[in-house]
Structure 1
Amino acid sequence: MAAHRARRWSLGGLVLLLTAALAVGVLITTTSPAVNRAQAAPAAQTWSDDFDGAAGSAPNSAKWSLETGGSGNGNHELQYYSKSSDNVSLDGNGHLVITARKNSDSGLQCWNGTCQYTSARLNTAQTFTQAYGRFEARIKVPRGQGVWPAFWMLGDDLGSAGWPNSGEIDVMENVGKEPGTVHGTIHGPGYSGSGGIGAAYTLPNGKAFADDFHVFAVDWTPTSITWSVDGQNYQTRTPSDVNGKKWVYDHPFFVILNLAVGGDWPGSPDAGTSFPQTMTVDYVHVTSASSAQFTGAIKGIGGKCVDVAGASTADETPIQLHDCNGADAQKWTVGGDGTVRALGKCLDVRAASTDDGALVQLYGCNGTKAQQWTLTSGGDLTNTGADKCLDAKDNSSADGTRLQIWTCGGTANQKWTLG
């Protein structure tokens, strides 16, 4: 796991940080004690990249800097980080693609001689930093022994404080020898490298992360960091976890995406590893506050609860009204990222429809507008993609009544309370 890593910054990246003026974007959302936090407006999105652009074009230089070099990054990695479009470009379909390839340039030198592979690493150190909030990316990772994709963050004081005093938050790391597992880790003074503090998340039923896109996120507050995969929280770290050492997650960090090859943790590629390998990123979104603002029941007409039919976690499971029973199928998290989640998945408008009567369902969280909701002080739970209200069909409060979206009319079957 990540604890085997000695450090992750490169010499070139450190020089960049020492010479660049970093743009700091610290945004912390607060509410008056008299205001129910769950009914406050969702946190604002402070930074994002959805990677829209022509196929073959470079990532937006107003958002990302490309690092170069083959220093091994303190881990004996085998790749040379390149700015070439062969290694990093948009695909024209709303994705960033980082590609690791076998190197054919005999003049390209790495720490151990002629570089064996080329790949890419991007950071936002010069363009965006933030303390606290939700940092989320939807990524499809590569596969194979020796490949090492990562979505992570470093403190903006790296140039002055040095690593690990500046702090590191690994949102997602995967090594090819563990196809169904990702790791989330923090590194700081006295708990870095082999002492990094973290946990792993493994997909059920033997699935591999390389088979599909998944959403990786951290929700970071002054007193905690919580990791999730596809909306399912799997660990929380607080100052008590660092055992009296310094909690250094109190200042802005910047974002990094990279695909390494080889190194002390993943080991080298073997005969079964094919190249090229790609790390495909659908989006990176950052909001200004933690997503976990409220967890509990959502009650509607007749005092009935919003319920996942049959407590099923399958995509397209109907959402209905039911007598309140305290079950997990009725425990919803209303988040600062605009999602409403239960059983590790999101409240979703079927087929992203904006029509009156479009049914609401449970679906894997994917960052689309069909899964964005706002709870107003008046009790309207509005889908922002359609600008329509969550509605109990036919004004009914009977068990099993399906929920849908409908033009907001202020009626009882469109009013919702939390808790």
Structure 2
Amino acid sequence: MRTRVLVSAVALALGGLAAPPASAAPADVTPLAVTFADEFNGPAGTRVDGSKWNTEVGDNGGNNREHQYYTTSASNAALDGAGNLVITARKENPANYNCWYGRCLYTSARINTSAKFSTTYGRVEARMKMPRGKGMWPAFWMLGQDIGSVGWPNSGEIDIMEFLGHQQNTVYGTIHGPGYSGAGGIGMAYNGPNFADGFHTFAIDWTPQGIAWSVDGYVYQRRTPADVGGNQWVFNKPFFIILNLAVGGEWPGYPDASTVFPQQFVIDYVRVSTSDSSGGGRITGVGGKCVDVAGAGTANGTAVQLWDCNGTAAQQWTRPGDGTIRALGKCLDAAGGGTADGTLVQLWDCNGTGAQKWAVSGANDIVNIQANKCLDAQNASSANGTRLQLWTCTGGANQKWTVAA
């Protein structure tokens, strides 16, 4: 668990306000496959899905001088039974939790997908409704998965949406990295409707070339490596997702007599989908046979094999730029995350894990990065139905591939 670092974005310093024209332009990256989704469906009072989310506990280490204590209690984060996650900030009387300044005055919740889901590139979006009142600070944001080893801001941070409860018509999108962090983050404020009156969709479309922010489909800001002033662009690696509702802090200020508790940050869904930036095509190997999804099946665990090239969708593979290789909306996957020789390769829901990260070398190898092993046709066979597996790279013909995708 990491504590939150200063992520303030000052509108004037970051380029002022953007407002939509009469006809809003759509985001310009078309989703290919959903790699992560939580629709928050379930009975009222149910906690978040622990297979997808970590629930943080504590006072955020005093960062930003916030005044909340994050708990695992369903009173602070739970499904509402109507398809939403509700993160609730509550005023505690008496204050029962120790904070950096004494006793915490408020409780709330913060969840993240670290070590459970990360993505490099794609569309990351959520449909949400904001809380109200001075001192309310909800955020939908991302941190580099390597933060534990490189620290912040070297890890990078992408703030997809930040909101201040006393500015009902404004949201902020910002990036932070080495040389452009904290109040020096690079971003922009967006001026729209009252975001506490109803649900709105907040998203980024992220590619190797840059990041575009949108609200309800209107792209209001784009940032590229050219925008970081010669500093390092740290957004070409895996990031994980965070949702939280902070109370107070140096940027939003603190609740006052006008702030009513409890306050709710309501999230309808979170989805990640990866865009196809490279087209699609076949992958051929030993004997001129194609890499093929057995029976054109889309169930998790469907075998990946060699077969006579036939031009079907089962042999159309894409490489969207996030290290994955995809067909039929799913990812080429090392079964069980295995790294041993003989680990079978299959089709599986895209999940951002190392089992689905591949590199195509100039020597025509397809290497699973996590295992550091090559995609291999079993027994050097070119017969129809030959299973594909991981194997120590030998340079053999059964490990050489021509990638059109």
Please indicate the TM-score interval, normalised by the length of the shorter structure.
0.5 to 0.7
Q: CA–CA distance in 2 between the matches of 1:142 and 1:284?
A: 18
Amino acid at match of 1:46: T
State the alpha-carbon separation in 2 of the partners of residues 184 and 42 from structure 1.
21
2:244 matches 1:255: no
Alignment match, 2:199? 213
Partner of 2:57: 68
**Equivalent pair of 1:165/1:248 in contact (CA under 8 Å):** yes
Q: Is the contact between residue 220 and residue 290 of structure 1 (CA under 8 Å) also seen in structure 2? A: no
1:193 and 2:187 matched: no
Map of 2:215 onto structure 1: 229
Residue 146 (structure 2) pairs with residue 160 (structure 1)? no
Instruction: Label 1:42 to 1:267 Cα distance change in 2 as closer, same or farther (>3 A).
Output: closer
Alignment match, 1:369: none
Distance in structure 2 (CA, Å) of the matches to 1:266 and 1:109: 22
**How do 1:33-52 and structure 2 match up within 5 A?**
42-52=31-41
Which residue of the partner structure matches residue 93 of structure 1?
A: 82
Aligned equivalents of 2:238, 2:98: Cα separation in 1: 34
Quote the offset at 1:208 in angstroms. Answer: 1.1
User: What are the within-5 Å matches in structure 2 for residues 250-289 of structure 1?
Assistant: 250-289=236-275
CA shift digits 1:390-415 (9 cap, x unpaired): xxxxxxxxxxxxxxxxxxxxxxxxxx
Q: Please report how far the alpha carbon of residue 71 of structure 1 lies from its aligned counterpart in structure 2 after TM superposition.
A: 3.6
Provide the C-alpha distance between the structure 2 equivalents of 1:197 and 1:290, rounded to a whole number of angstroms.
27
| Secondary structure at 1:75 match in 2 | helix
C-alpha distance in structure 2 between counterparts of 1:290 and 1:172, whole Å: 24
Q: 1:374 maps to which residue?
A: none
Aligned partner letter, 2:143:
L
Q: Does the Cα contact within 8 Å between 2:77 and 2:109 map onto a contact in 1? A: yes
Query: Does the 8 A contact of 1:148 with 1:259 survive in 2?
Result: yes
What is the CA distance between 1:108 and its match in structure 2? Answer: 1.2
- Contact residue 110 and residue 243 of structure 2 kept, 8 A: yes
Deviation at 1:232, TM superposition (A): 0.3
Q: Which residue, out of 82, 86, 95, partners 2:71?
A: 82
Question: The residue matched to 2:63 in structure 1 has which SS?
Answer: coil
Look up the SS of the partner of 1:241 in the other structure.
helix
Distance in 1 (CA, whole Å) between partners of 2:110 and 2:5 is 18
Counterpart amino acid of residue 63 in structure 1: K
Deviating 4+ runs (over 4 angstroms): none
Q: Is the 8 A contact 1:88 1:98 kept in 2?
A: yes
Partner of 2:65, secondary structure, is coil
Distance across 1 between alignment mates of 2:196 and 2:100: 29
RMSD: 2.1
Aligned length: 256
Equivalent in the alignment of 2:396: none
For the residue of structure 2 that corresponds to 1:288, the secondary structure is: strand
Distance 1:125 1:174, change over 3 A: same
> Distance between the aligned counterparts of 1:41 and 1:73, measured in 2?
40
Length-normalised TM-score, structure 1: 0.59
Q: Which residue of 1 aligns with 2:125?
A: 136
> What is the rounded CA distance, in whole Å, between the counterparts of 2:229 and 2:244 in structure 1?
30
Deviations for 1:329-362, whole angstroms, at most 9, x for unmatched residues?
xxxxxxx9xxxxxxxxxxxxxxxxxxxxxxxxxx
The one-character-per-residue Cα deviations of 1:149-171 (angstroms, maximum 9, x if unpaired) are 00000000000010000000000
Secondary structure of the 1:153 match is strand
Partner of 2:164: 175
User: 1:200 and 1:50 mapped to 2: Cα distance?
Assistant: 27
Q: Secondary structure of 1:55's match?
A: coil
Unaligned runs of 5+ in 1: 9-39, 294-335, 337-419
Aligned pair in 2 of structure 1 residues 226, 117: CA closer, same or farther (>3 Å)?
same
In the superposition, relative to structure 1, how do residues 154 and 290 fare at CA in structure 2: closer, same or farther (>3 Å)? farther
* Counterpart secondary structure, 1:264: coil
Taking the aligned partners of 1:286 and 1:237, their CA distance within structure 2 comes to: 19
In structure 1, distance between residues paired with 2:260 and 2:203: 29
Change (3 A) 1:41 1:269: closer
Q: CA deviation at 1:177?
A: 2.0
Following the alignment from structure 2 to structure 1, what is the Cα–Cα distance between the partners of residues 174 and 229? Answer: 15
Report the AA paired with residue 122 of structure 1: I
Aligned-residue identity in percent: 58
Unaligned runs of 5+ in 2: 8-28, 280-319, 321-405
User: CA offset at residue 290 of structure 1?
Assistant: 7.2
2:6 match? 7
> Residues 284 and 271 of structure 1: is their aligned pair in 2 closer, same or farther, counting only changes over 3 Å?
same
Letter in 2 for 1:216: F
Q: CA deviation at 1:7?
A: 2.9
User: Residues 138 and 269 from structure 1, CA distance in 2 versus in 1: closer, same or farther, beyond 3 angstroms?
Assistant: same
Cα contact 1:219–1:290 (8 A) shared by 2 = no
* Deviation string, structure 1 residues 271-309 (Cα, Å, up to 9, x no partner): 000000000000000001279x9xxxxxxxxxxxxxxxx
